[in-house]
Structure 1
């Protein structure tokens, strides 16, 4: 019911506007190559629509060959952009082979007068490329399940509309047209393409913004030196009244760390901090969390208190760290660490209460000679690695 020329104009303007939008986004974030590649791809698709409009008025074979080369090229660039979005940079060479096959076959068919067959082949390649784009996004659906599912469905719908165009020509036996195809399937295809491509431009922008926001949040909650979570992450993870009997907190403080910095230099001190963080990671179970609170202070949240596991884990961390050889310009350095343990309660202690109790126990470990663990006032010495029972 809509004027065919108006539909073509709407498709061209939609592609151009979306391309300009992506180009502006890329100019502000030059590292996001996806937006540049997608922008060029959309311009090529818009050029295909303009060439198609020209062909409807002047069905010259060279114009037909041009428009058939532009469509798979535009979709191929969108496919490459999808690969860039997820780091699949090797996809370009495979796409180039598909585009070359499409362009060569449609150009040959157009020049020998089988323009109807050429349109069928063009629509077949467009369908394949669109399904391929949807598959690239679908493989990464764990990142944004709802958005990527919607995007995949839209690509599938758009691919089906191109397949439908080719199917109508095939069923009608339109091997030779002598003009641009104009039927109900073509009009449905233009409407679907305008709607889908607009949405498919907006959804990656949304995913990119969500990804940037998640990265910024992760950076805000991560200690840049050790890669452990920081104090802010600890506070965010455990709201008030969070620590029941099944949880425990172990606080660690590196012994004589200031003297280490003074004697060996701050770069050696940084290496000591990173080495201790690595030792903590080695002893993490599923559900446990390690944090750097600041300076030389660290914390370990034990998710399941079972038997003597908490004390044994703390002592093993102390023993493993004490056995680390840290090579510096001055010589080999060995360090120790002290630990204080606090257990949760039936009344569900707050994070502040747990840290205060663990810090008090840690202070007792320091006063008792360092390189040891204090658990509820009982002082132990890490003379050997105890067996874990959990």
Structure 2
């Protein structure tokens, strides 16, 4: 099979340029997603490097190849930085900077010594290493969907393998000095994988970006922006249309004297109190339990797979943990506390009825002196 290398270079450049434009468009719509612009910069450097290689007219040496090879390694280092930022937006830029700097120095030394074959082998070897590092970042990511993440990691690895094959052939042949571009099966494999790999990686990266954006919008629509727990709509979407099993429990919370906090210290302090109570819920609840803010200073928790005794113990722990924070309300020593109503489902009881009973128990707790847990009666008395 005869492969026109010039045509493949044009294809690689066009594919990279298309990916560059798509990544930039994605970044313009989501400026906080820095991994997109890092990937775009990396692809831009690859495009320019391939263009420079295409202008070489078959000549091979320091002047024609060190600059584009340097650009390829730096470009891949930017892609690596983008992969790290995709996994964790707070991750450091130091590893990609170190990898890029070491790689450029490593290929520059043999090229400056006239060992163009060794320099080319090192280019391919280091490019393979950087692409494997990108694959590891995608493999480690806890984002969704996992299938696309794993497919991207596999594409990175196969593309890395094509670069590794080029290095292996040159080293096996002992070609420390070359005067023309290598022509062998490994170079053909690398050219094809660079074209297919870049296109596939770009498509999957954009797919992951839009999947992440859709997931974020869904989460924002169902989450209370202040406290980070679910909002009322999300709670009813999850539980409102079904009969409730007897193995759950509903807790209704109302922060005592909360109006006085807002009146005396302002709404900013009131918001901090709400945030601290949400933190208490996260600390005391199990991962299977569901917490939500119903509105104002009212919260609701659904305890999953639990009995009445354990539910009462959890409610008491939450009450005590919030009281222990000792959030002062005034200069007379009044402390913010929480009143709690607890309801266990009756036979074939729907969520709204269960919530009403928990709410009635909550107001019994408030009318009975606050800062206490009350268990709802089996039937709500009008």
Partner of 1:382 in structure 2? none
Structure 2: unaligned runs, 5 residues or longer: none
Partner of 2:106 in structure 1? 102
Deviations 1:268-303 (A, max 9, x none): 433443343333334313422222110121112122
184-193 or 56-65: bigger deviation? 56-65
2:95 to 87, 91, 96: 91
Tell me the distance in 2 between the aligned counterparts of 1:324 and 1:58: 74
Q: 1:106 to 1:135 in 2, by over 3 A?
A: farther
Structure 1: unaligned runs, 5 residues or longer: 379-390
State yes or no: 1:278 paired with 2:279: yes
TM-score, normalised to structure 1, is: 0.85
Partner of 1:9 in structure 2? 10
Tell me the distance in 1 between the aligned counterparts of 2:195 and 2:316: 64
222-231 or 153-162: bigger deviation? 222-231
Partner of 1:373 in structure 2? 373
Partner of 1:357 in structure 2? 357
TM-score, normalised to structure 2, is: 0.87
Deviations 1:158-187 (A, max 9, x none): 111112222233344444432112233222
In the TM superposition, residue 340 of structure 1 has moved relative to its aligned partner by 2.1
Tell me the distance in 2 between the aligned counterparts of 1:329 and 1:374: 27
Contact 2:251 2:341 in 1 (8 A): yes
303-312 or 239-248: bigger deviation? 303-312
In the TM superposition, residue 33 of structure 1 has moved relative to its aligned partner by 2.2
In the TM superposition, residue 94 of structure 1 has moved relative to its aligned partner by 1.8
In the TM superposition, residue 77 of structure 1 has moved relative to its aligned partner by 1.9
In the TM superposition, residue 260 of structure 1 has moved relative to its aligned partner by 4.7
1:5-44 mapped onto 2 (5 Å cutoff) = 5-44=6-45
Tell me the distance in 1 between the aligned counterparts of 2:96 and 2:373: 57
Tell me the distance in 2 between the aligned counterparts of 1:328 and 1:368: 20
Deviations 1:228-283 (A, max 9, x none): 22212212332532421111111122334435534554344334433433333343
The two structures, once aligned, show a CA RMSD in angstroms of: 2.7
Q: 1:223 to 1:103 in 2, by over 3 A?
A: same
In the TM superposition, residue 141 of structure 1 has moved relative to its aligned partner by 5.0
In the TM superposition, residue 13 of structure 1 has moved relative to its aligned partner by 1.4
In the TM superposition, residue 23 of structure 1 has moved relative to its aligned partner by 2.3
In the TM superposition, residue 323 of structure 1 has moved relative to its aligned partner by 4.8
Q: 1:370 to 1:133 in 2, by over 3 A?
A: closer
Greater Rg over alpha carbons, structure: 1
